[in-house]
C-alpha cells in the first residue's frame, strides 16, 4: 500500500449523515424504546434449541465469521434481540449487530464520528440494559467498526447468511412506527462504490430502500433472519464530486475480511480478583488458600489475609454460594462475571467463617 494512500486514510473521515437525518434517527430510536429515557420491556426467552452453524470464538482471538444463533427462533424476534442502539452521550447515532455467542458488536464507523478521541459509546440492548463499549477495530474505507462491550452480558445475535442476496427476500432492521424490526427492502443488484479516500469498494449491495431511512449500521437480513450485509456510507464511483454520498450494503465477504483483521487486543476486559492461591484443606474444609495479594486489588480491599505458610492465610471456600476447591475453579467463577460486578466470597480463617464482598475490576 502506498504512502499516499496511508495518508489519505488517516485524514479521511467517514461520511456522516446530515444533522436533520441524525435528528430523525434519534426520534425514531426514542420512539422504539431504545434510549435511556424509555427502556424497552424485557423480552421473553426465545423458543427452541440452539441450531447448527459456525461456532463462536471462545479464546480472546479475532472472530473469523459471525457465529450462528438458534435456528428455531422467529426471524423478527431474532432480529430485534440481535441488534443494539449505539448511543453517544445518551443520543442514538447508529444501529449495531451483536455477533452471536461472542458479544462484540458490528456497526458503521460513520455513526461514531462525533465521539471524539475517547472512542467510547453506550450500547443499549433489546431489554433496555446498556453498557459502555469501546472501538476495538475500524476500517474507514468500508465504514466498519467493531465495538467491544466492557461487560458482556448479552450474546444473542445474528449469523452470517449462506444465501446469495439476489436469491432471497431482503429486510433491514430499522425503527419504524414505534417498533424495531425487519422491514422489506429491494436489491437493485451489485454495484461498485468508493470510500471517501477514493479506495474501491467492490460488489456492494445496491438497495432499494423503499422510502426507509438509511440508518448506519443496520443489518441487511435474508428471509431466515441471517445477515447478508450491513448498511454503510460510501461515495458514488461515477460522481465528479469529491464524495457524492450513497448508502450501500457492505457484503458478508467484506465483513469477514474486516473481522479476520481484528487485533488480538480487541477483547472484553476480564474481571480481576488480584490474588495468588493454592488448593488447601483445613480439616474437612476445602478451598483455595490465599498465598499473596496484589496491592490495592479487589481481594486486598475486601480484607482477605495472605500467607505463604501452609497453615496461614484465609481460605476461600465459595463464590456466591458455589464451592471452589482449586485456583482454576475460583478463576472460572470470577470469569463468569463482568467488570463492576460484585461477588460474595465465603472465607474460612482457620477458626470461623465470614463473608467478604468484593467489587471486580479489570487488572491494572
Quick one: 14 and 117 in the same domain?
Answer: yes
Q: 266 in a domain, yes or no?
A: no
Which grid cell sits at 103?
458479544
Residues of the chain with pLDDT > 90, as a percent, come to 48
Of the residues 260, 290, 309, the one at which a domain ends: 260
Q: 265 in a domain, yes or no?
A: no
Quick one: 198 and 291 in the same domain?
Answer: no
Query: Model's pTM, two decimal places?
Result: 0.69
Q: Under 8 Å CB-to-CB from 60, ≥6 apart: which residues?
A: 264, 267
Q: 230 in a domain, yes or no?
A: yes
Residues of the chain with pLDDT > 70, as a percent, come to 77
> 315: domain CATH number?
2.30.42.10
CA 187 vs. chain centroid, Å, equals 28
Whether 35 shows a pLDDT value over 50: the answer reads no
Which of 36-40, 135-139, 184-188 has the weakest average pLDDT? 36-40
Whether 277 shows a pLDDT value over 80: the answer reads yes
CA torsion, points 343, 348, 353, 354, in degrees to nearest 10? Answer: -40
> 240: domain CATH number?
2.40.10.120
Quick one: 321 and 357 in the same domain?
Answer: yes
Of the residues 240, 260, 280, the one at which a domain ends: 260
Quick one: 94 and 36 in the same domain?
Answer: yes
- How confident is residue 239, by pLDDT bands cut at 50, 70 and 90? confident
- Scored b (16 or more CB within 10 A) or e, 221-246 reads bbeebbbbbbbbbbbbeeeeeebebb
Quick one: 234 and 328 in the same domain?
Answer: no
Q: 32 in a domain, yes or no?
A: yes
Quick one: 17 and 145 in the same domain?
Answer: yes
| pLDDT digit string, tens, across residues 298-329 | 999 999 999 988 778 899 999 999 999 999 99
Which of 114-123, 164-173, 222-231 has the weakest average pLDDT? 114-123
Question: Domain containing 93: what range?
Answer: 3-260
Quick one: 81 and 211 in the same domain?
Answer: yes
Of the residues 234, 260, 286, the one at which a domain ends: 260
Amino acid at each position: 500500500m502506498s504512502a499516499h494512500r496511508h495518508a489519505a486514510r488517516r485524514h479521511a473521515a467517514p461520511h456522516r449523515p446530515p444533522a436533520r437525518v441524525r435528528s430523525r434517527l434519534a426520534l425514531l430510536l426514542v420512539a422504539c424504546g431504545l434510549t435511556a429515557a424509555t427502556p424497552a420491556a424485557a423480552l421473553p426467552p426465545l423458543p427452541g434449541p440452539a441450531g447448527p452453524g459456525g461456532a463462536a470464538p471462545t479464546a480472546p482471538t479475532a472472530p473469523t465469521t459471525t457465529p450462528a444463533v438458534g435456528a428455531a427462533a422467529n426471524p423478527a424476534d431474532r432480529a430485534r434481540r440481535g441488534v443494539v442502539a449505539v448511543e453517544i452521550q445518551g443520543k442514538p447515532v447508529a444501529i449495531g449487530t451483536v455477533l452471536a455467542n461472542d458479544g462484540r458488536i458490528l456497526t458503521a464507523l460513520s455513526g461514531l464520528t462525533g465521539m471524539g478521541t475517547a472512542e467510547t459509546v453506550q450500547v443499549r440492548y433489546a431489554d433496555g440494559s446498556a453498557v459502555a463499549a469501546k472501538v476495538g477495530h475500524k476500517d474507514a474505507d468500508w465504514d466498519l467498526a467493531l465495538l467491544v462491550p466492557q461487560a458482556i452480558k448479552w450474546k444473542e445475535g445474528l449469523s452470517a447468511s449462506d444465501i446469495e442476496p439476489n436469491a432471497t427476500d431482503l429486510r433491514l432492521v430499522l425503527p419504524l412506527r414505534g417498533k424495531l424490526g425487519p422491514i422489506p427492502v429491494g436489491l437493485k443488484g451489485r454495484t461498485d462504490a468508493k470510500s471517501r479516500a477514493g479506495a474501491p469498494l467492490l460488489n456492494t449491495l445496491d438497495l432499494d430502500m423503499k422510502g426507509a431511512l438509511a440508518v448506519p449500521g443496520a443489518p441487511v437480513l435474508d428471509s431466515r433472519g441471517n445477515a447478508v450485509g450491513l448498511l454503510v456510507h460510501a461515495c458514488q464511483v461515477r460522481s465528479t464530486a469529491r464524495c457524492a454520498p450513497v448508502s450501500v450494503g457492505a457484503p458478508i465477504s467484506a465483513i469477514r475480511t474486516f473481522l479476520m483483521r481484528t487485533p488480538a487486543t480487541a477483547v472484553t476486559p476480564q474481571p480481576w480478583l488480584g490474588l495468588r492461591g493454592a488448593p488447601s484443606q483445613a480439616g474437612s474444609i476445602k478451598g483455595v488458600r490465599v498465598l499473596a495479594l496484589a496491592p490495592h486489588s479487589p481481594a486486598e480491599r475486601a480484607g482477605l489475609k495472605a500467607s505463604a505458610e501452609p497453615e496461614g492465610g484465609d481460605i476461600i471456600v465459595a463464590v456466591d454460594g458455589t464451592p471452589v476447591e482449586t485456583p482454576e475453579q475460583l478463576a472460572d467463577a470470577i470469569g463468569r462475571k463482568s467488570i463492576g460486578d460484585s461477588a460474595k466470597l465465603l472465607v474460612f480463617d482457620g477458626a470461623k467463617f465470614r463473608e467478604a464482598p468484593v467489587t471486580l475490576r479489570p487488572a491494572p
